[in-house]
Structures are given as structure tokens and as C-alpha cells.
Amino acid sequence: MANDDLQSIVDGLAERLQRSVAIDDPSIRLLAASRHFGDEDAVRVASVLNRSVSADLVERVLAHGVARWTGPGSVVVGAEGCLPRLCAPIRCNGLLLGYLWLIDTGPAPEPASVELAAEAAERAGVVLYRRLLLHERTKARHEAILRELVSADPATRTQAVADLRDEQLFPERTGHYQVVAVCCRGGDGIPAASRQAALEAGVEDGLRAVPGDRHLMVAHRTRAWILLADEQVLPRSRLDALTSRVAARFGDLTGGGAARVVIGTGAAVPSLERVVESYRQAFLATRAALLVPGIGDIARWGELGPYELLLKMPADDLAAASRLPALVALEREDGQGTLLATLEAFFDHAGDVRRTAESLRVHRATLYHRLKRIEHITGCRLDSGDDRLTLHLGLKLRVLARHLPEAAVAEFDD
């Protein structure tokens, strides 16, 4: 038997005991399974077919404390279709790498079976530890290339494209690339390492919502991003499932408190050379989620209206441009904020007096009176296209500038 083959370890133990054997990862997702010997139950069959079991069953299994075990033990879940099991935790160098399972219907595990299961788990630990080291090295290299792929230096980006093609990560038919950016905000009471771990776990869980294994991710302290690559543009439903899973998993791991993630999606681009465009759009979208009330925690490039132009301004320039003299004067004369709210509603309804009055629940005569006061204070004419554009953009800039002190704006370079 080859000691570096996980499937051989499972098959060898199964043949020796004439019982079916399975190995799961620490999240109870199937890694390897032997043929059945008539001892399988509904849960084992579902696990083989789906490569995982229900979240409820995972929770009930982990509630036995198996993640802390250092040797084999019995697990009786008591769920319908789930027989008792012998569980041998798989560890190497102090790391929990998975679980080896034997369905066990006897009154007590046979000592010989327990011993053989423990030996198989030890060999499996070596295999999984080697896989982990290889995965981490590969992951580190791919992350380095991805960082270069979105560098501000064109020559660096060109080299990164060549490196990715040398790695043959994406087949020639791949025609669409899209970036999803994730930023963590708040949760100052959570240790930085725990917050980063929750961020990475959230992103990894989100990736399970999309098909294929060519999608890559980069995580860095309080931010991460995903490069989605496929033959077709990812459907909106899949993208929504990804972002929802990222947010939900992060919330579960951080206790759903003050810490949260905001997510931005860039537009799909047709080549690796243009991934930097989708990357910048995705992080600009996270700025919108952070700065614009009403957008929510998920912002999509292409749906942000004028903010897509305004968000490209550096923070200092944005703050300075928001101090439009006409609006400063209006604010100074408008103690209750009534005139500013009226002006914003007027623009939001495209200058339609009837709809504006209805939204503000005032008589048209009252609205006309307010608009005249606004013109008098600002020195602008609301029947002038240029004046209306200036005031409207000024209001949008004020929305962004108002929240700049509350959120550190994501920068492009890691």
C-alpha cells in the first residue's frame, strides 16, 4: 500500500476490516471513502453522493467535542438514518486535519478495530499534512502573482499575466474574469488574527457557492479579493449566493457583533490583462458601501449611478469639492435642514414639482416658496442646466464626504 495515497489508506483499512471507511476534513466534508460492505446508512450514502452532510448534522457531530480528541472514540448522534460511529481524529504536528470514520453497530468498539483505525488515521495525518504544506506554498505563489496582476506598474502586470499562463490555471477557453472585493470594518474588540481568520473562512465558504476550481483569492489583514474565472459571466444568482455566504460565515465566526464585511463586485472583463479594471471597480464599490447610506453592505459596479464617477476622486479632493460655496451658504441659512432636504428631493425626482411635493408631503405652493428661497440663498437658478448639475453633484459629494471620518477608505495596493 502506498503511504502517500489517502484513498489507498481508506481502501486498505476497509478490506482488512471488511467494513466501509470514510475520511472527512475538519468541516466534515468528504475527502475519501471506501466501497460499502452492507454496513452503510443513509448519512454515509448521502455523504458519498454530495461530498458533505447537512449543517445540522455537522453541528451535532462537532458538539461531541471530537475536534479536541487525541484518540479514537464513539460518536452517537441519534439522528434518523445515522448509525453510531467510531471516530479517529487525524492529526499531525499538533494540527487537526480531519476525521476517520467507521460505522459501528456493536455494543462497544473492538480493540483491534480501534487500533487499526488509529494507525490508519496517523498515516492519513502525514498525507494531509503534506497536502497542507503543498497547498500553502501554492497558495502563497498564486497570491503573489495576483497582487502583481493588479499592480500600478504596467510592466509588473504584464509579467503576472505571463506567470499565470505559465501556471496553466485558466484554460484557453476562459473568457470572463471578475473581481469580488471584501473589506472588514469594526470589531475593534476582536483580535486581529481572529478577524483575519474569519475573513478568510468567509471568503473560502463563499467560493463554494460557485462552480469550478479555478477561482483564486487573496487575503490581507482586513481585506480580501476573489478572482472569478469562467467561460461565461457568472449569473447574478450565483454572485448573490457567494456574497451572502461570505457575509453570513464572517458574522457567525465574529459573533455577529460590531464587526462586519462590506462587499463590492467589479464588472466582468474579457482578459487577464484587464483584471485590474474589475479589481479597481470592486474596491471602489466597497467605498460606496462604506460611505453611502442606503446602498447596504453589498455594492455592485454598474449600479452606483453618479457615485461611480465621484468615488474615483481621492479622499482629500472629495472632501474639498464637497464644500461647494452655494451649499455652504444654504446650510448656514437652513437651521432645520429643510431647504437642503427639499433640494435633494427635487433633484431625486428629476425636477418634477408634483412628485417632489408628494414625497415631502407639502403643498405645491410651499414647495415653490422653498425653491425660490434656495435660489435666493445660493445665487443659482434651478431652470439653468449648469446650475442644477453643480448643485446636484455638490449634494452627492456631501453624502460621501460626510462619512469619510467614519470609515477608512480601501486603497488599491496591498
Q: Give 218-246 as a DSSP string.
A: EEETTEEEEEEEESSPPPHHHHHHHHHHH
Full DSSP string of 275-327: HHHHHHHHHHHHHHHHHSTTS-SEEETTSSTTHHHHTTS-HHHHHHHH--HHH
Is residue 366 domain-resident?
yes
Residues 80, 102 within the same domain: yes
Q: What is the pLDDT of residues 98-129, one digit of tens each?
A: 999 998 876 667 888 899 999 999 999 999 99
Cell 480601501 belongs to which residue? 410
Is residue 325 domain-resident?
yes
Predicted pLDDT of residue 178: 93
Residues 322, 272 within the same domain: no
Task: Tell me phi and psi for residue 275, to 5 degrees.
Answer: -60, -35
Residues 27, 121 within the same domain: yes
Cell 472629495 belongs to which residue? 318
Lowest mean pLDDT among 27-41, 68-82, 87-101, 211-225: 211-225
Is residue 10 domain-resident?
yes
Partnered with residue 101 across adjacent β-strands are: 22, 87
Of 256 and 18, more confident: 18
Q: How far apart are CA 180 and CA 135, in angstroms?
A: 22
Q: How big is the CA angle at 201 (ends 198 and 206), to the nearest 5 degrees? A: 125
Q: Are 227 and 179 in contact (CB under 8 A)?
A: yes
Residues 182, 303 within the same domain: yes
Is residue 46 domain-resident?
yes
Domain boundary among 276, 310, 344: 310
Is residue 276 domain-resident?
yes
Predicted pLDDT of residue 403: 62
Is residue 27 domain-resident?
yes
Based on the structure, what is the number of domains in the chain? 3
Residues 225, 342 within the same domain: no
- Check which CATH number belongs to the domain holding 396 and give it: 1.10.10.2840
What confidence category does residue 323 fall into, taking pLDDT thresholds of 50, 70 and 90?
confident
Nearest to 99 by CA among 70, 77, 79: 70
Q: Is the pLDDT of residue 391 over 50?
A: yes
Is residue 159 domain-resident?
no
Predicted pLDDT of residue 407: 47
Proportion of the chain above pLDDT 90, given as a percent: 31
Residues 86, 186 within the same domain: no
Residues 18, 111 within the same domain: yes
Q: How far apart are CA 231 and CA 176, in angstroms?
A: 6
Q: How far apart are CA 336 and CA 198, in angstroms?
A: 43
Domain boundary among 263, 281, 310: 310
Q: How far apart are CA 145 and CA 157, in angstroms?
A: 9
Q: Which three cell numbers stand for residue 171?
A: 484554460
Q: Is the pLDDT of residue 3 over 60?
A: no
254: exposed, middle or buried (Cβ count in 10 Å: 0-12, 13-18, 19+): buried
Q: How far apart are CA 71 and CA 89, in angstroms?
A: 6
Q: Which three cell numbers stand for residue 302?
A: 454598474
Residues 223, 303 within the same domain: yes
Q: How far apart are CA 359 and CA 111, in angstroms?
A: 77
Domain that holds residue 34: 6-128
What confidence category does residue 7 fall into, taking pLDDT thresholds of 50, 70 and 90?
very high
Q: Which three cell numbers stand for residue 347?
A: 433633484
- Check which CATH number belongs to the domain holding 51 and give it: 3.30.450.40
Q: Is the pLDDT of residue 84 over 80?
A: yes
Residues 188, 231 within the same domain: yes
Q: Is the pLDDT of residue 93 over 60?
A: yes
Predicted pLDDT of residue 414: 45
Nearest to 36 by CA among 17, 57, 52, 58: 17
Domain boundary among 266, 293, 310: 310
Cell 444654504 belongs to which residue? 330
Q: Is the pLDDT of residue 5 over 70?
A: yes
Mean pLDDT, range 79-91, rounded to an integer: 89
Q: What is the pLDDT of residues 202-226, one digit of tens each?
A: 888 888 888 776 788 888 778 899 9
Average pLDDT over the chain reads: 85
Is residue 108 domain-resident?
yes
- Check which CATH number belongs to the domain holding 255 and give it: 3.30.70.270
Q: Are 27 and 53 in contact (CB under 8 A)?
A: no
